[in-house]
A = this chain, B = another copy of it.
Amino acid sequence: MSDRVIKVGLCGFGVVGQGVFNHLQKRENDLSDQLGAKVEVARIAVRDTSKKRDFDFDSSILTTDPLSIASDPEIDVVCELMGGTGIALDVTLEALKAGKVVVTANKALICDHGEAVFAAAEQGGGQILFEASVAGGIPVIKAIKDGLVINRFSSIYGILNGTCNYILTRMTNEGASYQDILVEAKELGYAEADESLDVDGIDTAHKAVVLAYLAYGRWVPYKDILVQGIAEVTQEDIAFAKENDYAIKLLATMDVAHASGKLYISILPTLVSKKYVLGSVDGVFNAVSIHGDVVGETVYIGPGAGRDATASAVIADVVDAAKLLVAGGSQFVDPAPRGGERIELAEPEEIKSRYYVRLQVADKPGVMAEVTSLLAKNEVSLASVTQKEVEENAASATLIMTTHMTTEQAILDAVRALEESSSVEGKPFTMPISSFES
């Protein structure tokens, strides 16, 4: 064994940071044996040096200045585990410009500043690794950039947010409302105090942007993605799904149209067949299905969050970096295919699917005729309509419809027209019905 030491600086020492520290310590000898070099946590940036931590370590390696780690010539690998896009971005850019490897779990940072981050890496000869930013402990980023390197990807489908999948699964199993499950999920630590990043689909969209860059080489602006969360899913939707052998999943869809080559990305509650593997991935688990032109479909399932699962992914990147450093040097390699900036995004009129539509309508004569005629005007043709028996004296009824193949634009237009109708109460709820086969 050589006496080469790969020096790691941890910026951020919260749940994930301490997980990384702990597991690197525990397996230090194993790693040394395999790599022919020691991987050592040489410095740690914290907010409060006096705070008690879960693990023992030499407190002299602590600093309150993460930027001093980013610019420390002794440090080879900087783990950015602070989160946010403020100081985390400064640290990342500084370290990359200094030619270091930056390992991050920060999908918001990569999503919002990916272009600047990659430019800094290229300019400084650094490297940015971010396995932990998508799908937690599942090595899906390495799968796309290494394992499937020779493939082009016609589509990627992901269940990328464990909180949403947990809530939807419990709603399905227990018949309880979204609100009730959310409250319990918060108590149990499966949802954050401010749940909006998760349940509104924002976190999933961040991750989809990261995957899309890796697969297609294009930074898709967040604002160009149709994003809808799970807060509007009701037991009526769950019941429909169960009766028809579907599960409702918050699905990230990335799809390249065969004919036009245009890329479509959306984050939407989606009816997924229970016969298809993603339809049976429940609870906090994440899953990603990747369609490669050479390999065909491969699917990856595992824990999408949690201290140890995330630490497992962060450390995988640290070790990857260490291997390259031991081999002779790490240098910038863009993991994405070239030419992505030329990929156009598909317009809603180019996106085809079957849809599920749920409406609250006034219980009075002529409503059904009005609703169906509004849909027909927008070129949405119905495959099925169900109105449950209305209780005596109820002022409104729930209509559940499925459509034949139509376009996303047609559904958006139809929903707008329905919203404006005096017969329809509130906003209609729609979901695509996926055409996955088992």
Residue of B nearest to A289 (CB): B301
Interface size counted on chain A using CB atoms at 8 A = 60
Per-position binary interface string of chain A over residues 291-330, scored 1 when its CB falls under 8 Å from any chain B CB and 0 otherwise: 0101111111111001011011101100110011011111
Given contacts A316-B149, A324-B324, A328-B328, contact A299 B296 (CB under 8 A): no
Per-position binary interface string of chain A over residues 68-86, scored 1 when its CB falls under 8 Å from any chain B CB and 0 otherwise: 0000000000000000000
Flag whether A245 is at the interface (Cβ < 8 A): no
Docked pose: A295 CA to B326 CA in angstroms: 26
Chain A interface mostly: mixed
Contact of A30 among B148, B308, B338 (CB under 8 A): B338
Distance between A133 CB and nearest chain B CB, rounded to angstroms = 14
Whether the Cβ atoms of A312 and B300 lie closer than 8 Å is no
Docked pose: A36 CA to B137 CA in angstroms: 30
Contacting residues, chain B, for A337 (C-beta < 8 A): 30, 33-34
Whether the Cβ atoms of A299 and B297 lie closer than 8 Å is no
Flag whether A360 is at the interface (Cβ < 8 A): no
Q: Which of A384-423 contact B (CB under 8 A)?
A: none
Flag whether A3 is at the interface (Cβ < 8 A): no
Identify the interface centre among A281, A302, A337: most chain B CB within 10 Å of its CB. A302
Docked pose: A338 CA to B32 CA in angstroms: 10
Residue of B nearest to A311 (CB): B294
Given contacts A301-B277, A327-B330, contact A295 B149 (CB under 8 A): no
Distance between A279 CB and nearest chain B CB, rounded to angstroms = 10
Distance between A118 CB and nearest chain B CB, rounded to angstroms = 13
Flag whether A365 is at the interface (Cβ < 8 A): no
Identify the interface centre among A142, A312, A324, A328: most chain B CB within 10 Å of its CB. A312
Given contacts A277-B277, A327-B330, contact A150 B315 (CB under 8 A): yes
Contacting residues, chain B, for A335 (C-beta < 8 A): 34
Contacting residues, chain B, for A147 (C-beta < 8 A): 131, 138-139, 142-143, 313, 316
Whether the Cβ atoms of B142 and A146 lie closer than 8 Å is yes
Whether the Cβ atoms of B312 and A303 lie closer than 8 Å is no
Whether the Cβ atoms of B146 and A319 lie closer than 8 Å is yes
Q: Which of A262-286 contact B (CB under 8 A)?
A: 277, 280-282
Flag whether A112 is at the interface (Cβ < 8 A): no
Contacting residues, chain B, for A150 (C-beta < 8 A): 23-24, 27, 31, 311-312, 315-316, 319
Contacting residues, chain B, for A33 (C-beta < 8 A): 337-338
Contacting residues, chain B, for A282 (C-beta < 8 A): 438
Whether the Cβ atoms of A139 and B148 lie closer than 8 Å is yes
Whether the Cβ atoms of B295 and A312 lie closer than 8 Å is yes
Contacting residues, chain B, for A315 (C-beta < 8 A): 149-150, 294
Subset of 7 A-B contacts with CB under 8 Å: A34-B338, A137-B295, A150-B319, A277-B281, A294-B312, A297-B302, A297-B303
- Listed from nearest, the 4 A-B pairs whose CB atoms lie closest are A328-B328, A139-B147, A298-B302, A137-B295
